[in-house]
Structure 1
Amino acid sequence: MATAFRPGPTGLGTSAARLRPPAKAPRRTLPELYCPPHLRDDRALGEEVNERLVRWAGQVGIYAGQTEKFRAADFGRLLMLTHPDTDDPDRLLAAARCMAAEFAVDDYFCDEAAAGDHPERLGAQLMLAQSAIDPAQLPAAVRPSYERAMREQPVLNALRRSVRELAPYASGAQVNRLRQEIAGLFLGMDAEAGWRIGGSLPPVWEYLANRQMNSFLPCLALVDVVGGYELPATVYGRPDVRRATLLAALASVLLNDVYSMHKEGGADAVEYNLPTVIAAEEGCSLDEAVRRSADLHNETVRSFEAAAAELSLAGDPLLTRYLGALWAWLGGNREWHASSPRYNQS
């Protein structure tokens, strides 16, 4: 492996899946969170997807030496919970590979930047990560060097293979949609690195604008792929549909922020999550900041619910199915956070 695994703060909206051990800190009472229920819990299906994903991670080289921790993160269960409209393990695995590769960017590249080794390198690393999913078309003389780097760096290899292996299940438009959402994710990661280099916490509004991108949005972008249908690009890109999608993405990651603070109870290093930013800006306790974060989460979920209900009135069956899939994704995400040992071990 080209780089050692290191734990670190949030990113990808996915501190949920950090493989670091839980912080030793007092647990807080979890605030009330408004969220849909999960629609199924097929443990056998989740375990099958998870074991296949662990094998794939070994093939591409990510999390070498961390296999059991990666297995315990249980991405297979997360995919099973968040996509209740299919019981096809191949489709679930296709999305799981993309998710694991995105997590690897966070766990390796962003964690190194957060650790202070060379934070200025993160932009270049994220550029190469984007190139892995949207391959550079280079002159013949330099192409071998590029291809060698893509093969030998485990994270880049995982990204490239995950998108290639999604292709049998997704149209060209759906793959391009994923590329677009991942580009936004990487932009959000780079912004957090900028805050770290500057040694500053952003205002709440700026943090939330970033978090909308640095979220589970690339995962949500695949709900129709996993479901075996396609929401047309002309519909996906409509401003009203885009608003609903972004509300769901923001809600998904604000829930993650609340569960992270519930588990961690604070940390020695600066954590870029909503409670920390609220506490700094408003001068309140972290307990109060967690409660206010939960309120913002709940408001966002209700805004998505209202937007989806209004959009469904048009009677477009594909759009209605897509919106229902986003709603189901939020419910599965909540159940995974609520039941994962990552958040529920004292």
Structure 2
Amino acid sequence: MAAFEAAARPFPTGPTGLGTSAARIGSPRRPVTATPAGGGRRSVPELYCPPHLRDDPALGREVNDRLVRWAERVGIYAGRLERFRQADYGRLLMLTHPDTDDPDRLLAAARCMAAEFAVDDHFCEEAAGGDHPERLGPQLMLAQSAIDPAQLPRGHAEAYQREMDRQPVWNALRRAVQGLAPYTTGAQLNRLRQEIAGLFLGMDAEAGWRIGGTLPAVWEYLANRQLNSFLPCLALVDAMGGYELPAQVYGSPEVRRATLQAALASVLLNDVYSAHKESGAQGVEYNLPIVIAAEAGCSGAEALQRAADLHNELVRSFEASAAELSLTGGPVLTRYLGALWAWLGGNKEWHASSPRYNQP
């Protein structure tokens, strides 16, 4: 698998940058254009990011078809399954994990991602619409309980289990994490639980801003976005590749710094691609360009460019961090860092083409 080999090779230092010739940035100065599902084109600012390493449409379709059938079984996106299908999360998993072509393994990660998106689309969307945002905290607490089940006394366990089965999002989260067991070690699963807990903490903070009717400062928004990011997805890159980055390496300060740089960059790219949709939404939306525009008093176009600049700075910082770590970190760490780099490229390609972010 050439894509896997390219992602796994050591990172050269110097002007060639992170990765091999197959993963070089190429011409990042050109603005990116996206074609919305309904036709027409909209421009996205320059985004410094690696290219995706493979595109296997048949594999993406297979994973996506299986994922839609699973979503129907567990009950998420009821009445919206066709829109869920069109978002094409199977393609996202195919693009972001080029070191495996096993549809079962990719589906296991896809189910986790879909369940996490369902938390946002079901619970956070309801809070954003002004429908009792104070409920979001308890909903997220029980969502975390679904992935790390509470061990209740006998007299209360039945009611708890009944509610976990009844609520589609909690049910999806529980089953998704259970479905990872054949592909992960206990340490990798525990890592994922911790990263999802951070994700839910970030979502809960946004509900606090909504209740107070306030916009955060840009630095505060970015600190929150570090939590409310694609970090749970990135936490699975080694499991998807069929290896394990040891817990003591994953948690070391230098590796943690690089991982968080990649995670924040990945979600700021999301902010850039979703800005056009969220700027027209009812009520207050919490998006980096919106927060920048409010704080700096600048136009939406300038705020969007500033958001893209922050993304680009983070990708370059990760590139430098990973190149330095690869010199002394050993082959497993180098492989992990290459997988993060590949994930960033696949994430960008999906955002540029998914109807979730490109509908007019």
Normalised by the size of structure 2, how large is the TM-score? Answer: 0.87
Q: After superposition, give the CA deviation of every residue in 1:137-195 in whole Å (9 maximum; x if it has no partner).
A: 00011110001011111001000000111011100000000000000000000000000
Partner secondary structure for residue 29 of structure 1: strand
The residue number in structure 1 matching 2:166 is 152
Q: CA deviation at 1:345?
A: 4.0
Alignment of 1:143-292 (within 5 A): 143-262=157-276, 266-292=280-306
Q: CA deviation at 1:28?
A: 5.5
Query: In the alignment, which of 67, 83, 92 is matched to residue 53 of structure 1?
Result: 67
1:29 matched to 2:43? The reply is yes
Q: Distance in 1 between the 2:349 and 2:278 partners?
A: 19
Counterpart code for 1:235: V
Preserved contact between residue 129 and residue 283 of structure 2 (Cα < 8 Å): no
Report the CA distance shift for 1:119/1:138 in structure 2 as closer, same or farther (over 3 A).
same
The residue number in structure 2 matching 1:80 is 94
Report the CA distance shift for 1:129/1:343 in structure 2 as closer, same or farther (over 3 A).
closer
Preserved contact between residue 244 and residue 307 of structure 1 (Cα < 8 Å): yes
Partner secondary structure for residue 230 of structure 1: coil
Counterpart code for 1:64: A
Q: Distance in 1 between the 2:78 and 2:280 partners?
A: 29
The residue number in structure 2 matching 1:111 is 125
Q: CA deviation at 1:342?
A: 3.1
Poorly superposed stretches of 4+, deviation over 2 Å? 26-29, 262-269, 341-346
Q: Distance in 2 between the 1:277 and 1:154 partners?
A: 32
Q: Distance in 2 between the 1:341 and 1:163 partners?
A: 27
Q: Distance in 2 between the 1:203 and 1:251 partners?
A: 18
Counterpart code for 1:344: N
Report the CA distance shift for 1:337/1:327 in structure 2 as closer, same or farther (over 3 A).
same
Q: CA deviation at 1:271?
A: 1.4
Partner secondary structure for residue 290 of structure 1: helix
Q: Distance in 1 between the 2:61 and 2:286 partners?
A: 32
Consecutive unaligned residues in structure 1, runs of 5 or more? 1-21
Q: After superposition, give the CA deviation of every residue in 1:92-137 in whole Å (9 maximum; x if it has no partner).
A: 0000000011111111111111111111111111110000000000
Q: Distance in 2 between the 1:295 and 1:69 partners?
A: 31
Preserved contact between residue 115 and residue 173 of structure 2 (Cα < 8 Å): yes
Report the CA distance shift for 1:255/1:282 in structure 2 as closer, same or farther (over 3 A).
same
Q: Distance in 2 between the 1:290 and 1:266 partners?
A: 14
Counterpart code for 1:101: A
Q: After superposition, give the CA deviation of every residue in 1:184-239 in whole Å (9 maximum; x if it has no partner).
A: 00000000000000000000000000001101000000001111100010000000
Partner secondary structure for residue 328 of structure 2: coil
Preserved contact between residue 113 and residue 122 of structure 1 (Cα < 8 Å): yes
Preserved contact between residue 127 and residue 207 of structure 2 (Cα < 8 Å): yes
Query: In the alignment, which of 75, 81, 97 is matched to residue 111 of structure 2?
Result: 97
Counterpart code for 2:305: R
Report the CA distance shift for 1:139/1:263 in structure 2 as closer, same or farther (over 3 A).
closer
Counterpart code for 1:242: R
Preserved contact between residue 133 and residue 211 of structure 2 (Cα < 8 Å): yes
Q: Distance in 2 between the 1:159 and 1:174 partners?
A: 16
Q: Distance in 2 between the 1:214 and 1:296 partners?
A: 17
The residue number in structure 1 matching 2:80 is 66
Question: Is the deviation greater in 78-87 or in 113-122?
Answer: 113-122
The residue number in structure 1 matching 2:15 is none
Q: CA deviation at 1:269?
A: 2.4
Partner secondary structure for residue 322 of structure 2: helix
1:314 matched to 2:317? The reply is no
Partner secondary structure for residue 313 of structure 1: helix
Preserved contact between residue 279 and residue 285 of structure 2 (Cα < 8 Å): no
Partner secondary structure for residue 179 of structure 2: helix
Q: Distance in 2 between the 1:284 and 1:104 partners?
A: 33
Preserved contact between residue 261 and residue 317 of structure 2 (Cα < 8 Å): yes
Query: In the alignment, which of 134, 140, 155 is matched to residue 126 of structure 1?
Result: 140
Normalised by the size of structure 1, how large is the TM-score? Answer: 0.91
Query: In the alignment, which of 325, 341, 347 is matched to residue 333 of structure 1?
Result: 347
Determine what percentage of the aligned residue pairs are the same residue: 81
Preserved contact between residue 278 and residue 285 of structure 2 (Cα < 8 Å): no
Q: CA RMSD in A?
A: 1.7
